[in-house]
Structure 1
Amino acid sequence: MPATQESLDTLRVALVDLLGDRGVSTDQRTRERASVDEATMSPILTEQLPLGLADLVAYPASADEIAAVLQLAARHGVPVTTRGKGTGNYGQGIPLHGGVVLDTSRARAVVEVGDGYVTAEAGASMVSLEQAAAAAGQQLWMYPSTAQSTIGGFLSGGSGGTGSISHGSNWEGFVTALDIALPGEDGLLHVEGAEAQTFVHTYGTAGVIARATVRLEPLQDWRAVYATFPTFEQALTAVRTLRGTTPAPRLVSADRAEIAAKLPKDPAIAVDRASLRGIIDGVVLEESRDLIEAAGGTVEDVREGLQQTTKVSMLSYNHPIWWLKRNSPDTVWFHVEVGGEALIDRIAEVEAVYPGALLHIEAAHIGPIGMLTAPYTGAEDVYAGYPALRDLGVRVHSPHQYYVDHGVEELVALKQRTDPAGLLNPGHVIDPALVESGGSTASAQPSIPGFGK
C-alpha cells in the first residue's frame, strides 16, 4: 500500500533533520533516476517501464545512518527500496510501490582489511575493496563484472562473476558477517555464517545490508590474456580446457566474431575472429598459451596490472551483450541466461533455437554458462524457446523478471520475521508457486549460480 502524502511530508522533514538538505531529494529527475536500473537490458521489462517512482530519495553516509533512515521510514509506514549504484539488470531496485529509495552509495567506508577478510559499508565499490585487499597482499574471492558496483548491491542482487570459477556464487561462503538494518529495530543486527547467508541475494526484501564482511585470499599474479580464433567452435574448446588449469583462471569469456566486432576497439580484439579474454595466473601462463594454440587460437596480448584485469572483467557476463545492443541501433536484442555442456557440445543446435542467435560464453565452476542473445520478436517467442533449450540439456534462467527467484520459500519465512509489515522493497517477493510457474512477468526457472550482475 503506497504511503499517504501526510506520512511522506512528515518523513521528509525528519530525514532532513537526520541527513541535512543535501541528504534528501524530492526533485522529479532525481527520483526518476533513482527508480530505474539496467532493466532496459531486457526488452520484455522495457515494455513494462516505468514500473514505479520513488517519492523521496535518501542518501545516508554511514551504516548507522542507513539504519536510522530505515527506522524513520518504518515509523511512518513508508516503503523502502534499497539502492547501490543501480547496475542490476533485472529491475530488482525499482520501487514498485513508491516510498523512499535508500541510496547507499555515500556509505562507502572500507572499515578493516584483515587476514582473510575485508569489512566495508554497503556503498563501498567492489573495485575499491579489491584495491584495498591488493595493498595488503590479498584479493577478493570474487567480484561482479560491473566492478564499480557496490558491495551491498552485489550481495543483495548479484550472484557471482570474476573469481566464480573457483568460488561459485556469492551465497556459497563468500560472506562471513553482515550488519543488517531492520524495520522496528534500533541500530544494526549483526549476523554471521549461515545466518548471514540467508540475507544474500534477497533484493533487500528481508533486511537492508548496511555493512558486510567478505572473504579474501592470498594475492595471485594475474595476467589479462587476449586471444583470437578463426571460429567460435575453436574458442569453445579453449574455454573448456583453460578452466581445467591449476590454479584455475579467475575468468574466461568468449564471443563470436559478430559480438566481438561490437566491443570497444582494442588491437587485441579482432573484428573478424572469435574473441577470448581471460584472467590467468602467471604460473600457468605458458600452459594456457599452449592450450589456446592447441585449440587453433592465437594469443594477441598479455597485460599486467589490476587495471588491465578489471578491464577484462568489464567485458564479461552481460557486458558483451550490452555493447552489442549499444552498437546495433537498428536491432532490438533480448538475452536468456543459459548453462550446461551443451553450450559447447551442441552449439549449433543451441543457437538454432532462436533465429539469428549468438552465444556469449563463460567458464564457471558448474560448467559453461552464457548469454544467448537474438533479435527480439516478442515475449511469447522468447518464452517459447525455453522448452527447446531444455530438451537440448541446457539450463535456462529468465532475466526478464523483477522478483526474487532463488530460495523463495526460505525468503518468505525470513521476511515474515524481519519485515511483517511488508515495507522492504514490496512487490519483489511473490508466492513461491508462482515463481515456479513463471509468475506474472516471465517463465522463471531456478537461478544458475555464477551469473554476474
Structure 2
Amino acid sequence: MPDIAALLQEIADVPHSADPAVVRAKSRDMYAISPLLRKALRGREAEAVVSPRDNHELRAVMRWAVRHRIPLTPRGGGTANYGQSVPLAGGAMLDMTGYTGVVAVSDTNVRVRSGTLMGEIDEVLRAHGKELRIHPSTRSDSTIGGFIGGGSGGMGSCRWGMLRDPGNITAIQVMSVEAEPRLEELRGVDTLLVQHAYGTNGVMTELELPLAPAEAWKEAVVAFPDFMDAARFGIAFAAHPDIARKLASVQEWPVPRLMKNLGDIVPEGHSMAMVMVAGRHLAEFRALVAMHGGRVVTCVAEGRGRYGAPLYEFAFGHALRQIQKHQPRTTVLQGMFPPQELEASVARLHDAMRGVGPLRFEIFYSQGQLVGMGSPYVVFESEAQLAGLVDQMQALGMNVANSHTTGVRAVGIKAIDERDAAFKRAMDPHGLLNPGKLGLEEKESAAVTTLATKGWATKRPAA
C-alpha cells in the first residue's frame, strides 16, 4: 500500500485530511449497534479522507485512486447499521457530504446531488407542496446517496413499498473508477444495480426520485392491553386503502418502558402501535383504532411530541438505539414475516418467544405484498444464542437477513447475480470501491459473521 498521506499533495485542491482523529471518525458508522460487528470491525480504518465537492474534484480523486491503486470507501452521513461504510482494506474514505444541492424540482420528481441531507431536501420540497416518498429513521443525518446506496426502506414504505420496488427510484447517475472516469445514467430497473450496493460498483453523483404531495403528518401512539390486538391493528392500518400513512410499528410491552424518552405515555402492561397518519385522515384512523379496541394516548403534529424526537426515531433501526441508551446489550434480528399469512406468522412467533423477549415489527409493502419485519428483543449473550434464535425463526417460516454482518450478499437483503458482477467489472475494473463488501470477492469473509440466515426472498424486477 502506498503512503497515502504523502500522495494527498497530488490532489491538494480537493479537501482532504490525514489527521488520525478525523480519519478514525469518518471510518465508522453505526455498526456498534451489533455486538458481533462491534468485534468484527474493530480497528478497521482508512488512512485518509477525501471530500470532493463537484464532478471536477471527484474525477481528480478517481484518477488519483486508479493511478496509485488506492481503495476508496464512499461515505454519506455515517448512519448505516451494517458497517456499509467501514473500510475493510484501508485506503481513503470518499466523504460525499460536501457534494450537495438540489438540482431540479418538477411536479413529479426531484433531482439532487448525492451528499445532500434528506431533511434539507424535504425543506426545499415543502415550498413546492411536495415531499419525498420514503425516508429512514435517521432522516436528520442521512444523505440521499447514503440512504439509497445502503438502505432498503423506511418511513413511507407502508404506502409506497421498499426502495427497490418499481417507481421508487427514477434515475441514478454514477461515476466509474477508471483512469478516465465515466458518468453513467441508470434509469428504471437498472438503478437496482447500485441501490443497496454499499457504493461498491460506482460512486453516486446525482439521484432523481419521485415525489408525493406534502402532507400535514400526525404521529400517534395507540395502546392495547393485548399484543396481538396491536398487531392486528398495525396490519389493518398499513393496508388501509383510504388512509395516507407513513409508519406502522408495533412494540410489545415492556418496550414502551425500555424506551425511556416515552416516559409513561403508554399505560402499564400495554403494547403499542406507533403510526404516522395524514391529518386529513384522522377520522378514519380513529375509527380503525376503535374497531380494534385500542386507545390513542398521544396524537400530535410530526416532531411535536413530548418525547424529544420525531416518533419515527423510535421505529426501525432507531428503536434499538433508543433501548440501547439504557440497556446496551440488547439486540435484535431482521426476520421477514411471510406475506401470505402475516398475522398468523406474527402470532406463531409471539407464542414461541414467550419468555425470550418482547416482540417488535414494522409493517410495509415489498414487491406488492404487505409484509412485516421484526424479531424479539434479546439481551445478547453469545453468537450461538443468536444462531439458535435464527434457527427458531426460520423454522417458523420466516426469512431472516443477517443484520450482524457486513457485505451485500452476506446480509441477504439484495439479490446478487451476474448482472451485478458485470456492472462491477465495468465500473470498477481495478476493484477499488469498498473492497470486500459486494460478495464477489474472497476478502469479504474477513468481516462476515456466520449466522445461518436465509436472507430475504427478493427478486429483481424484469427489465
Q: CA deviation at 1:248?
A: 4.2
Aligned-partner SS, 2:254: helix
- What residue is the counterpart of 1:208 in the other structure? 203
One-letter identity of the residue aligned with 1:446:
G
* CA distance in structure 2 between the aligned counterparts of 1:135 and 1:448, rounded to whole angstroms: 39
| Alignment partner of 1:446 out of 421, 433, 455 | 455
Q: 2:326 maps to which residue? A: 327
Give the drift of 1:325. 1.5
Q: Output the amino acid matched with 1:169.
A: M
- Output one character per residue of 1:196-226: Cα deviation in whole Å (capped at 9) or x when no partner: 3321111011001111111112223422222
Q: Which residue of structure 2 aligns with residue 164 of structure 1?
A: 157
CA contact (8 A) 1:51 1:96 kept: no
2:257 is aligned with 1:257: no
Q: What is the TM-score when the length of structure 1 is the normalising length?
A: 0.89
**CA distance, structure 2, for counterparts of residue 64 and residue 271 of structure 1:** 57
* 2:285 corresponds to: 288
* Match of residue 416 from structure 2: 408
1:10-409 map, 5 Å: 10-15=6-11, 17-19=12-14, 23-50=15-42, 52-148=44-140, 149-172=142-165, 173-184=167-178, 185-186=180-181, 188-245=183-240, 246-266=242-262, 269-270=265-266, 272=268, 273-305=270-302, 311-329=310-328, 332-340=329-337, 344-347=343-346, 349-351=348-350, 352-353=352-353, 356-365=356-365, 366-405=370-409, 406-409=414-417
Shift of the alpha carbon at 1:147?
A: 0.6
Q: TM-score normalised to the size of structure 2?
A: 0.87
Q: Structure 1 residues 435 and 251 mapped into 2: Cα distance closer, same or farther (>3 Å)?
A: farther
CA distance in 2, matches of 1:397, 1:146: 20
Offset of residue 257 of structure 1: 2.6
- The secondary structure found in structure 2 opposite 1:417 is helix
1: distance between equivalents of 2:408 and 2:90?
18
Summarize deviations over 1:397-447 as a string: whole Å, max 9, x none.
1101110121222322221221121100001122499999x9654434333
| Residue ranges of structure 2 left out of the alignment (5+ in a row) | 459-463
Q: Is the 8 A contact 1:397 1:448 kept in 2?
A: no
* Paired amino acid for 1:166: R
Q: What 5-or-longer segments of structure 1 have no aligned partner?
A: none
Q: Once structures 1 and 2 are overlaid, which stretch shifts more, 270-279 or 51-60?
A: 270-279
Task: Write the letter of the residue equivalent to 1:13.
Answer: Q
CA distance in 1, matches of 2:304, 2:52: 30
Aligned residues of 1:205 and 1:425 also touching (Cα < 8 A): yes
> Residue type of the partner of 1:315?
F
Is residue 342–residue 371 contact of structure 2 (8 Å, CA) maintained in 1? no
Whether the 8 Å contact between 1:179 and 1:189 is mirrored in structure 2 is: yes
Distance in 2 separating the partners of 1:269 and 1:414: 50
How many Å separate the matches in 1 of 2:380 and 2:147? 28
Displacement, 1:354? 8.4
String of CA shifts for 1:212-267, please: whole Å, max 9, x gaps: 11111222342222222223222112101212222342111121232211325346
Q: Which segment is superposed worse, 181-190 or 137-146?
A: 181-190
Partner letter of residue 18 of structure 2? T
| Larger displacement relative to structure 2 (183-192 or 118-127) | 183-192
Q: How many percent identity over aligned positions?
A: 26
Superposition deviation, residue 373 in structure 1: 2.1
Q: Deviations over 1:7-40 (max 9, x none)?
A: x14531122x222xxx211111111111111111
| Cα root mean square deviation, aligned | 2.7
* C-alpha distance in structure 2 between counterparts of 1:412 and 1:427, whole Å: 13
